Amino acid sequence: MANADEFINRDLSWLSFNERVLAQSEDTRVPLLERVKFLAIFSSNLDEFFMKRVGLLKRRLAGHGGAEKTTHEGITLSRLRHEIRERVVGLQTRQAACWLGVLKPALADAGIRVRRYDELGLTERGVIDQWFDTNVFPILTPLAVDPSHRFPFISNLSENFGLLVSTPGSTRRAFARVKIPGVVTRYVPLKTGEEDAHEFLALDDLIAHNLGRLFPGLNTRAITPFRITRSAALDEEDEDVDDLMEQVEDELRRRRFADAVRLEAPPNASDEVMQFVVTQLGLDEHDVYLREGPLEFADLFQIASLPRPDLRETPWRPVIPKALRNLAPVEDGRPRAEPAPGDADGPTESIFARIRAGDILLHHPYESFEHSVERFVSEAADDPDVVAIKQTIYRTTPDSPFVRSLIRAAENGKNVACLVELRARFDEQRNVTFARQLEHAGVHVAYGVLGLKTHCKCSLVVRREHGEEGAGIRVYAHIGTGNYHPKTAQLYTDLGLLTANPSLTGDVVKIFNTLTGHAADQRYEKMIVAPGRMRTAFEELIDREIENAREGKPARIIAKMNQLEDRGLTRKLYEASAAGVEVRLIVRGFCCLRPGVQGLSENIRARSIIGRFLEHSRIYHFANGQADPEQGLYLIGSADWMYRNLNARVEATVPVEDRLARRRLARVLDMMWRDRFNAWKIDADGSHTRLDPDPNAEPDTPESSGTFASLMADTVA
């Protein structure tokens, strides 16, 4: 069978995913400001796609015979470039139509208006021009291009004006560039007397009507706003690197000056300005995208964040996990022994006492990240009985409570180690800063394993304890599917496991020994760790389902992940389908597997869920001969089924063995599969079909109202 018959192209599948994001902004069931937010998310996603994927594609095209090279699916690179452009143009046309024809008028009806400069009265113009003189004009820097002035460097994702100016009476035109400053709010508020009214003027509109003042005595012949995107697809090979931090900092410097891959401008852009910019940046006509709407749709995040609760989702307040309620307040480094005021459940305890009582499954953002994961590390930092803390950091917030806790722990004399992944894409500079802060505080900082990114989400606490059997050391661990990032923990659905099970904590100890030391072949008791064992372990689990199906035993695979791309595991799933194994896939992003193809994958069905929260958790279920969905094997972890996760990253998945925790995971997967509010069916050709709510379903069920309401009820219960 040809690869084209087996696989969907990754980049085209990703564009289908982003189309589902765009569809959220077109969905009238979604609150108005949330729809505006999804417009901005769509653009932000597309920026990253051009920086990474189109940047890589252009680099391959530039190589010898690049245009005729083919992808794994048999598409020539030149054809793929054409298809990407065709799809992007269509999606951006929809985006502009949604903003200009639907959302912008709807916002105006709700009292939120984005006005044009030429709509303003004389008094309003006077006020806003005075504001411009004070807050914007001194920042603007006109840069001319002539024999004594070279074409200026234009930074990635910057918004600019290209102008043609001439002296009075002269036909000779000179090019000049003015950058729209990034330090000024993109939508300038206009004061109005209406209660709850929000009126704005786009900053680029304001600057455009005042540009002539930057070139006194000259005639402005053309003004064209434009925006460029630069490649971020740089080499990541580091096996021979002497200093990883130095290499990352050097890569950041090179990325700043990387080749341009896209030029965006409005449809009425000056041909002369555009041709000049295209030539100077080394682009061609395929790289130019003329579109309606704001120059930068991601600027709409400012509008989407307005304090209008009537136009957004009801705020979700995470509940404290049932197993962690009524914990003792921490005083002087120790949980208080007596009951807290208002507690009716008797003496309170430390978080470690609760974890000793049994594994605790966490489901964010429905359950509080602050009162579980953050508390786990913070309490450990202050607990005099804790002797060591270890943690991985892939992405976190600039004011990360985890960094503060690790620094405080080191200052308290504990042995603290932290693996900071310096190569987390677009967070490199932030992570370099964290690494230096931690090292300065005395934390043992490692940067990962050469040749691999560290993507696993693990924390370890070593505690000296006194029990009936005398004093001893006990180890606690947290293994998660998402980053130690308090902000995204409120926006992404993720899972985590707090455990004191020696079989699991012992495996986490080995993971950290590998990350901070040297270990060629670690053997793990229960966890599945990449790159050494994960691929073969998943293949063996699929093989077991195939064998069970052939023997007439219950056989099923349910897998929830962010993306599915690995060809080896995809072919294994095709084998499972041929053997009669029922395979359900819930893949939020791109899915390169073709589901529902007769003779190939007729027993495989695939869904994608795009909703209020970004579905980030990874859950893998194998029936293992058990008919009851609450039985069998459940795994959660950091890895998607992508080649990079299985072969080029340090990843960790952990079995969930607690009976009640398995029941919760079974219910989550069941609800998501039955969802008919946020779900899309992935078709064999890579397209998607939205599942409509079932009009015959009971109210507030996944079939009638969506996943969120059901998960909320599940969490509260």
Which residues are known to be catalytic? 455
What three-state secondary structure class fits 143?
Answer: strand
Residue 206's contacts (CB-CB under 8 Å, 6 or more residues apart) are 117, 128, 132, 136, 188
Token readout for 108 is 């105006």
Q: Are 601 and 574 in contact (CB under 8 A)?
A: yes
What three-state secondary structure class fits 353?
Answer: helix
d(C-alpha 465, C-alpha 377), whole Å: 17
Sign of CA dihedral 693, 696, 701, 703: negative
d(C-alpha 9, C-alpha 77), whole Å: 11
CA atoms within 13 A on the CB side of 190: 25
What percentage of the chain's residues is helix, strand, coil (to nearest 5)? 40, 25, 40
Bridge partners of 112? Answer: 198
- Beta-strand ranges (E) seen in 204-287 are 219-230, 260-265
Position of tokens 């023997």? 551
d(C-alpha 478, C-alpha 460), whole Å: 7
H helix intervals, 524-648: 534-550, 567-578, 643-647
d(C-alpha 460, C-alpha 515), whole Å: 13
655 closest CA partner among 633, 638, 671: 633
* Beta carbons within 10 angstroms of residue 469's beta carbon: 6
CA atoms within 13 A on the CB side of 396: 23
Sign of CA dihedral 135, 41, 155, 167: negative
Bridge partners of 135? Answer: none
What value, to the nearest 5°, has the Cα angle with vertex 296 and ends 291 and 299?
A: 145
Alpha-carbon torsion angle 362, 367, 372, 375, nearest 10: 160
d(C-alpha 379, C-alpha 394), whole Å: 21
- Burial class, 210, CB count within 10 angstroms (exposed 0-12 / middle 13-18 / buried 19+): middle
CA atoms within 13 A on the CB side of 560: 25
What value, to the nearest 5°, has the Cα angle with vertex 627 and ends 624 and 633?
A: 35
Q: Are 516 and 448 in contact (CB under 8 A)?
A: no
What count of residues does the chain have?
717
d(C-alpha 651, C-alpha 223), whole Å: 50
H helix intervals, 364-501: 375-382, 401-411, 428-440
How far are the Cα atoms of 50, 131, 351, 524 from residue 341, in angstroms, in the given order?
Answer: 55, 53, 18, 45
d(C-alpha 290, C-alpha 269), whole Å: 8
User: Residue 347 carries which side chain, given as an amino acid letter?
Assistant: P
